[in-house]
């Protein structure tokens, strides 16, 4: 789509902040008003619109896309989104450890992942079953229920960020640590890629894998920034 506007402005509305293009408010794909909860987020999304060239490229507007997801997808399908995020309560990456043939990896995982699980145990009063290898073992109903309730308590913009973050990290615990500002985002990204990075240390890096990780990190950083700005 060709750029069809000259001026981008943030407008203070009664229920939030909107983006106007040549005086006309931006709408979501579902024709909802793009009403943002904070001025900081509105300014960031306005900058994405302003920085478009002669052609509008949606892939360069991750904040706008996440806001659209919050207003269209989460609002209309909230319980389905909560369910998708909460599913990681039973399959969190942090539960799965190297098996008896990988004692060094298991020790490395324990050293770096256990502090995050310890934080979650204390913060949410839950317990975890750790699994050696990749065979699934269900967590307790109480743990799943408690973590699911925490997810369900979040606002729609936070859920939009969490949907992206849980998918990118493979971890609800890590995502909740980001929501609660309990851990540095850079450390969370390293922890979510710990096994892959460990394998590279053992056997060398792969250019394709590195490129995929770099691409995912761009998405991750955008979702983290969206989370931070929507809750400022």
The gap between the terminal CA atoms of the chain, to the nearest Å, is 32
CATH code for the domain of 26: 3.30.2180.10
Residue 218 lies in a domain: yes
Please check whether residues 146 and 45 belong to one and the same domain.
no
How many helices (DSSP H) and strands (DSSP E) are in the chain? 11, 6
Query: Which pLDDT score is estimated for 200?
Result: 87
Q: How many C-alpha atoms does 165 have within 13 Å on its Cβ side?
A: 28
Of 74, 33, 79, 39, the residue nearest 156 (C-alpha): 74
Record the tokens describing residue 133, joined without a space: 């290898």
The residue count of the chain comes to: 232
Please check whether residues 109 and 160 belong to one and the same domain.
yes
Please check whether residues 195 and 223 belong to one and the same domain.
yes
pLDDT in tens, 184-209: 999 999 999 999 998 888 887 788 88
Among the residue ranges 13-27, 52-66, 94-108, 198-212, the one predicted with the least confidence is 198-212
Q: Which residue has the tokens 């050696």?
A: 132
State the residue range of the domain holding 225. Answer: 78-230
Q: How many C-alpha atoms does 225 have within 13 Å on its Cβ side?
A: 17
Query: Which pLDDT score is estimated for 135?
Result: 80
Share of the chain above pLDDT 90, in %: 89
Please check whether residues 40 and 125 belong to one and the same domain.
no
Residue 232 confidence (pLDDT) above 90: no
Q: How many domains does the chain have?
A: 2
pLDDT in tens, 79-129: 999 999 999 999 999 999 999 889 999 999 999 999 999 999 999 999 999
| Core vs surface per residue 56-71: b (16+ CB within 10 A) or e | eeeeebbbbbbbbbbb
For residue 155, the tally of other CB atoms under 10 A from its CB is: 12
* pTM of this structure: 0.95
Query: Which pLDDT score is estimated for 207?
Result: 85
CATH code for the domain of 96: 1.10.3580.10
Q: What is the mean pLDDT of the chain?
A: 96
Please check whether residues 92 and 50 belong to one and the same domain.
no
Record the tokens describing residue 24, joined without a space: 């006309």
| Core vs surface per residue 162-197: b (16+ CB within 10 A) or e | bbbbbbbbbbbbbbbbbbeeebebeebbebbbbbee
For residue 41, the Cα-to-chain-centroid distance in whole angstroms is: 16
């Amino acid at each position: 789509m060709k750029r069809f506007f000259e001026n981008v402005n943030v407008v203070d509305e009664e229920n939030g902040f909107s983006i106007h293009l040549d005086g006309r408010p931006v709408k979501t794909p579902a024709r909802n008003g793009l009403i943002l909860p904070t001025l900081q987020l509105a300014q960031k999304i306005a900058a994405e619109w302003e920085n478009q060239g002669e052609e509008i490229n949606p892939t360069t507007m991750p904040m706008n896309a996440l806001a659209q997801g919050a207003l269209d997808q989460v609002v209309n399908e909230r319980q389905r989104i909560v369910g998708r995020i909460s599913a990681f309560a039973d399959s969190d990456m942090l539960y799965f450890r190297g098996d008896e043939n990988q004692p060094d990896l298991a020790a490395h995982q324990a050293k770096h992942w256990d502090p995050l699980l310890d934080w979650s145990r204390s913060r949410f009063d839950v317990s975890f079953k750790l699994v050696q290898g990749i065979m699934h073992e269900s967590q307790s109903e109480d743990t799943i229920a408690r973590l699911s309730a925490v997810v369900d308590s979040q606002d729609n913009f936070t859920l939009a960020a969490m949907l992206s973050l849980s998918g990118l990290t493979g971890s609800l615990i890590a995502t909740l640590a980001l929501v609660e500002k309990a851990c540095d985002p850079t450390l969370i990204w390293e922890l979510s890629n710990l096994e892959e990075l460990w394998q590279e240390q053992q056997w060398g890096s792969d250019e394709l894998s590195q490129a995929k990780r770099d691409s995912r990190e761009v998405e991750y950083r955008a979702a983290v920034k969206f989370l931070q700005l929507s809750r400022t």
